[in-house]
């Protein structure tokens, strides 16, 4: 355990997460098939969905999610960081951008957790300015107690009202706990 911190309780089990990720994938598949229309698979290949993951915590969720989406897709990653101090977040900076232009493409942003909304809002504005054909957002956890900025969330795995520090399934504390197959609240004392 990092610096004496242990797990307080499991909030979302491995099975709950697996089931919900499959449901999200099915809904995203249905919605993007409707967006593309009744085009053949070959025509869909000419217009794949671009899934944009926000690093680093999203890796596990994104890997599981894309395997449940049954439309042609590609994926890429962005990294956004806040430069401030421990008490107040500072300016958001784009550290890793997408490899290719996205104008005219269907984009799905995938985020592990939406807390204050600042990072996701920044990414949504940044990508909208690049004129994609469509832009939707999927998050595993919508953690509402600390929300500062309203953001568009098209697909939400779980809404949590508790203001717990979450770890597991990609979420970390000081880089640790990401490999847990469930999501737990971390003891903060």
Residues carrying an active site annotation? 115
Query: Dihedral through CA 13, CA 19, CA 20, CA 23, nearest 10?
Result: 180
H or E stretch including 64?
A: helix 59-66
Is 36 in a helix, a strand, or coil?
A: helix
| CA gap 37, 58 in Å, rounded | 29
Q: Is residue 68 within 8 Å of residue 19, measured between CB atoms?
A: no
């Amino acid at each position: 355990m990092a610096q004496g911190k242990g797990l307080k309780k499991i909030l979302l089990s491995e099975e709950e997460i697996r089931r919900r990720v499959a449901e999200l994938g099915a809904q995203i598949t249905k919605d993007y098939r409707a967006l593309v229309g009744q085009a053949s698979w070959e025509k869909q290949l000419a217009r794949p969905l671009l899934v944009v993951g926000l690093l680093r915590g999203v890796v596990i969720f994104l890997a599981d999610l894309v395997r449940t989406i049954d439309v042609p897709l590609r994926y890429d990653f962005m990294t956004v960081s806040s430069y401030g101090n421990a008490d107040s977040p500072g300016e958001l900076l784009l550290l890793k951008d997408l490899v290719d232009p996205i104008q005219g493409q269907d984009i799905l942003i995938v985020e592990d957790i939406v807390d204050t909304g600042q990072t996701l809002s920044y990414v949504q504005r940044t990508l909208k300015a690049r004129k994609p054909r469509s832009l939707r957002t999927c998050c595993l956890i919508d953690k509402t107690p600390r929300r500062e900025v309203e953001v568009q969330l098209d697909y939400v795995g779980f809404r949590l009202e508790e203001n717990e520090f979450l770890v597991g399934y990609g979420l970390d504390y000081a880089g640790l706990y990401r490999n847990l197959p469930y999501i737990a609240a971390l003891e903060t004392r």
